[in-house]
Amino acid sequence: MPTPTEPRAAEPRPGEPGPTERRVALGVSRRWPVISALGAVGLALLIGWLVTVRSTADLLDAEWMEEIVEHRSPIWQGPALVMNFIGGGWFGVFAVPIGIVVWLLITRHRAGALYFVMATILSAGVVQALKHTFGRARPADILVTSDFGSFPSGHVANAATMAVALGVIFGMRRVWIGGAVYAVVMLVSRTYLGAHWLTDTVGGLLVGGGVAVVLWAPFALRLLRERRRSASAGA
């Protein structure tokens, strides 16, 4: 027990991060320029490798697409078209993100809403830049109408950004699992429709998830504080 002359350690206010959590979050926030730089460079190198090592990538892509085309069925085409609508166009680009932001604001995750908006916009920007940089042609067996550039997949990048961002904001296992399932289903649906090669979807996962992780760093402490306060209010 502390003596009367010893200062008593200040207890964190309800909903506030503890000392250890604050040190971790502050450490990440202070190092975010280095983390961002290394993450961006590593991501760019990996994406470039996936696209430029054509002897390996083309063989893998061709074999995967051959299997997909061989097993196409009206039973699976319907769900794939639903995923095509949910993950792209006006609905996936505007309606879904806006709906999520409104929900985050209503539930008092203001820092989370800002983080989600910035991650979504930056991810989309990186995707478009890479599409125009590499200009990869889409598969010949495509079943939907798509824009220019096959690499990387914008649908999958958007799904990965959403999954990682919401996982970071809420820190719940079920959110991480649900997001991972959604991203994988989106990946399979894009190749099933012939809208992308397999490596395009892998590139989309890397871009979307990587951008969300890199941008998480400067928001780390604010997101942790909001998460703790939300958990305290719901207790």
Within 8 A by CB and 6+ apart from 102, the residues are none
User: Which CATH architecture is the domain 30-228 placed in?
Assistant: Up-down Bundle (1.20)
**Per-residue pLDDT in tens (0 to 9) along the chain, 235 residues:** 445 554 454 555 555 556 666 666 666 666 665 566 567 657 766 776 766 666 555 778 888 888 888 888 888 889 999 999 999 888 998 999 999 999 999 999 999 999 999 999 999 999 998 888 888 888 888 888 888 888 899 999 999 999 999 999 998 999 999 999 999 999 999 999 999 999 899 889 988 988 888 888 888 888 888 888 877 765 4
Predicted local distance difference test score (pLDDT) of residue 70: 84
Chain centre to alpha carbon of residue 88: 15
Q: What is the pTM of this model?
A: 0.81
Predicted local distance difference test score (pLDDT) of residue 6: 47
Predicted local distance difference test score (pLDDT) of residue 27: 62
Return the exposure string of 9-25: e unless at least 16 CB atoms fall within 10 Å of the residue's CB, then b: eeeeeeeebeeebeeeb
